[in-house]
A = this chain, B = another copy of it.
Amino acid sequence: MSDTLTETMNALGINARRAARALGVASTALKNQALQAAANELRKDSAAILQANQEDLKLAEAEGVNKARLDRIMLDEARLEGIAQALEAIIALPDPVGESLARWQVPSGLDIDRVRVPLGVIGVIYESRPNVTADAAGLCLKSGNAVILRGSSEIQNSAKLIHGCFARALESVGLDRDCVQIVPSADRAAVGMMLAGLDGSIDVIVPRGGKGLVGRVQDEARVPVFAHLDGVCHVYVHGAADLDMAKQVLVNAKMRRTGICGAAETLLVDAACADSHLAPLIDALIDADCAVRGDDAACAADARVTKAQEDDWYEEYLDAIIAVRVVPDLEAAMAHITQYGSGHTEAIVTANAEAAETFLNNVDSAIVMHNASTQFADGGEFGMGAEIGIATGRFHARGPVGLEQLTSFKYKVRGHGETRPK
């Protein structure tokens, strides 16, 4: 049984590598045709996909899956149309492959051209959201990468049919259907094999899902991973912050959507403005239905604040809760972020340009902001089009992972018979 799985998985890897070779040099027009064909197939096949999704939902309900999760699993006409439109949006994005990143001449006479190429084969491991099947396949396809998709068992039926749309679309335009493959087995051992890289056939893993999944992938993967485990994002209200701006940015950063990784989790208020700003900021949060846990100063400023524990500074609530602390100065704010932060996104609110630049330079997170809501931490808001996730690693991709981040590069060197002197 396990031998069969090993064979199945290794075949996926070999097929993906072969498909990637041809896809890597496919024209933009051909890749866009495949994306459009996939969008069309999704619309044509919508009845069957929605029926398969009903089966997934029934099984999930029988297993007692909670409401929020059922909602993530659920597809309807509107959501399916959204998935098709997302593919059409990827068509509109520029193709990164072949772009010259830099080109220069060297004294020997050679012309050196650094050119974007696809990464190769991407493994996507995801749960709960069937739309990831199409979103990830679309982004990988456009960036010239073959993809091996492994959705969790709870969306097997939906994912299988969505994958079928891509297989037919690829064949219809003359591309290898193995450019987009799906793991046919619900066996969790398949995930382990992907994390080991399928014998050199997977170049990078992208996990999409909860902390349990991302943590396992980061711990066990023997290939690079694009991911973030936590988004403990900070808003630091500096001594020179305009109170109204601070209120607006803070409440938006915390409350616009509490469940996304760019939502603020901790408010740091500079001692220099605590007398004037702390109580109104807390009031604005509570007014917006946010529970506040604070240090002694915050508790003293508003009786509705409960005492924060050490653990609160590390917490990614993903809920209408915030931790509030008064810090002596800019240095102390940055030290707090270094100690408790997760390297995702942090914002300073200040009218002092020098303090802002110090914060932007010295805070070591993927995204650092001045006078803006942390909720802008998103590939779409960055103008990068769709994203496959946000990475907090320092390697290759950092911040939103869009089409460009799914590429590598190579050097094309053009000469006239040059030989290297001794």
Contact = CB atoms under 8 A, between A and B. Distances in A.
Interface of A: 21, 24-25, 98, 104, 106-108, 110, 112, 117, 119-120, 203-204, 222, 224, 242, 245, 248-249, 251-253, 256, 338, 349, 356, 360-362, 364-373, 375-376, 381-383, 394-396, 398-399, 408-420, 422
A224 B204 CA distance: 12
Nearest to A415: B372
A287 B249 CA distance: 75
B256 A112 contact: no
A37 to B, nearest CB: 25
Contact of A418 (B119, B362, B372): B372
* Most B CB within 10 A of own CB, among A395, A399, A417: A417
Contact of A376 (B24, B108, B119, B398): B108
Given A108-B376, A372-B110, A415-B371, A256 B420 contact: yes
Contact of A364 (B108, B117, B253): B117
Given A249-B419, A338-B21, A119 B394 contact: yes
Given A419-B252, A419-B373, A382 B368 contact: no
A410 B382 CA distance: 13
16 contacts: A25-B361, A104-B383, A108-B381, A110-B381, A203-B394, A364-B410, A365-B410, A370-B412, A371-B417, A372-B418, A373-B419, A376-B418, A395-B396, A395-B408, A396-B396, A398-B409
Given A411-B368, A415-B370, A420 B252 contact: yes
B412 A368 contact: yes
A24 to B, nearest CB: 7
Contacts of A415: 369-372, 376
B373 A414 contact: no
Contacts of A366: 410-411
A104 B382 CA distance: 9
A358 B62 CA distance: 56
Task: Please name the 4 residue pairs, one residue from A and one from B, whose CB atoms are nearest each other, closest first.
Answer: A372-B415, A252-B419, A245-B417, A396-B396
Contacts of A107: 383
Contacts of A108: 376, 381
Nearest to A250: B419
Nearest to A404: B102
B252 A413 contact: no
A371 B109 CA distance: 11
Given A372-B417, A372-B419, 8 more contacts: A106-B382, A112-B382, A349-B417, A367-B413, A370-B413, A370-B415, A371-B418, A395-B395
Nearest to A409: B398
Contacts of A395: 119, 203-204, 224, 395-396, 408
B420 A24 contact: no
Contacts of A367: 410-411, 413
Given A368-B413, A395-B224, A420 B25 contact: no
A410 to B, nearest CB: 6
A398 to B, nearest CB: 6
A420 to B, nearest CB: 4
A245 B418 CA distance: 9
Contact of A410 (B370, B398, B416): B398
A159 to B, nearest CB: 27
A368 B113 CA distance: 10
A104 B360 CA distance: 17
A417 B362 contact: no
B203 A369 contact: no
Given A371-B415, A383-B104, A364 B21 contact: yes
B25 A376 contact: no
* Most B CB within 10 A of own CB, among A252, A365, A395, A420: A420
B373 A420 contact: yes
Given A382-B112, A419-B256, A360 B412 contact: yes
A23 to B, nearest CB: 12
